[in-house]
Amino acid sequence: MTTTPRYFALVPAAGVGSRMAAASPKQYLPINGKPMLRHTVDAFLASPLIAHSFVVVSEGDGYVDEVLTDAAGLAGGGVTVLRCGGATRMESILNGLRAVRGQVGDADLVLVHDAARPGLTPALIARLITQAGANPAGGLLALPVVDTVKTTRSGATATIPREGMWLAQTPQMFSYELLLRALASAADPNAITDDASAVELLGLSPQLVEGHPRNLKVTLPSDIRIAEMYLAHPEKEENQ
């Protein structure tokens, strides 16, 4: 008998965000009056497609309890905090996957999402699941490159054709078994720039699903203002 796979969110949030030069890790900085991580978690909690969400933080994280204390379903419900974060994003995801082994089946799908992408919406989650949920190689949100791309790798300035080029976003969605196998078997962790790159090293081709500019990654202080503008108009921006 075929079992319908469930969808789980896994949010690695153990980073320190050094480029933000802030007093706290960037995932806890306020965006429109609400911590960045809370925006991310709330998007998954608002999606009827997500069975459960897991947030991976460092063992000594002193912020997460306050940020998520009143989140719907925090206590045994919609979201669980895992204090098993590692030194790198890849290590945190691997630790998180191993920690939920008894709750997530091999065929269930895991949506890994950056804590510093607060512009995620239930509509974008649904788009990814609807378009790539049946792909055995998984899929991810991404944006087609629209600007002219230059390179200086050869020592001289040159133009790269932008046709077929995409900018990867998250969530990136794979079956539990595939994601665990891809990350655990990666010979060179430095070659893994995102979860999809680990799956690609297995010879698979994850599906690209068009995302939205509002789903930007907050990396520098100037990104906060851009995120605030998108989050101030959720319905208008999401449907463009």
Angle ∠(211,19,14) on CA atoms, nearest 5: 70
207: β partners: 139
Q: Report if residue 91 sits inside a domain.
A: yes
What pLDDT score does 239 carry?
52
Q: What are phi and psi of 133, to 5 degrees?
A: -60, -25
Q: Report if residue 152 sits inside a domain.
A: yes
What's the domain range around 212?
7-238
Q: Report if residue 1 sits inside a domain.
A: no
Q: Report if residue 134 sits inside a domain.
A: yes
- Cα dist from 28 to 35, 68, 78, 113, 218, whole Å: 5, 11, 20, 15, 12
Angle ∠(31,143,87) on CA atoms, nearest 5: 60
Give the residue from 114, 117, 99 showing the smallest Cα distance to 59: 99
Q: Report if residue 34 sits inside a domain.
A: yes
Q: Report if residue 25 sits inside a domain.
A: yes
What CA–CA distance (Å, rounded) separates 173 from 166? 17
**Single-letter code of the amino acid located at 210:** E
Bond into 161 cis (ω within 30)? no
Output the pTM of the full model: 0.92
Domains contained in the chain, number: 1
Instruction: Give yes or no for a contact between 10 and 85, defined as CB atoms under 8 angstroms apart.
Output: no
pLDDT tens, residue order, the chain (240 aa): 568 999 999 999 997 644 444 557 889 999 999 999 999 999 999 999 999 999 999 999 999 988 887 655 554 568 999 999 998 999 999 999 999 999 999 999 999 999 999 999 999 999 999 999 999 999 999 999 999 999 999 999 999 999 999 999 999 999 999 999 999 998 887 778 899 999 999 999 999 999 999 999 999 999 999 999 999 986 554 554
Query: Which residues neighbour 204 within 8 Å (Cβ) at sequence distance 6 or greater?
Result: 136, 137, 138, 178
What CA–CA distance (Å, rounded) separates 110 from 178? 10
- Cα dist from 70 to 26, 42, 77, whole Å: 20, 11, 12
Task: For residue 38, give the CATH number of its domain.
Answer: 3.90.550.10
Q: Report if residue 2 sits inside a domain.
A: no
Residue 207 neighbours by CB distance under 10 Å: 18
Chain segment 151-195, per-residue pLDDT in tens: 999 999 999 999 999 999 999 999 999 999 999 998 887 778 899
What CA–CA distance (Å, rounded) separates 61 from 193? 24
Catalogue the E-assigned strands of 26-117.
Answer: 30-31, 34-35, 50-56, 79-82, 109-112
Helical pair 89-99 and 176-184, crossing angle rounded to 10 deg: 130
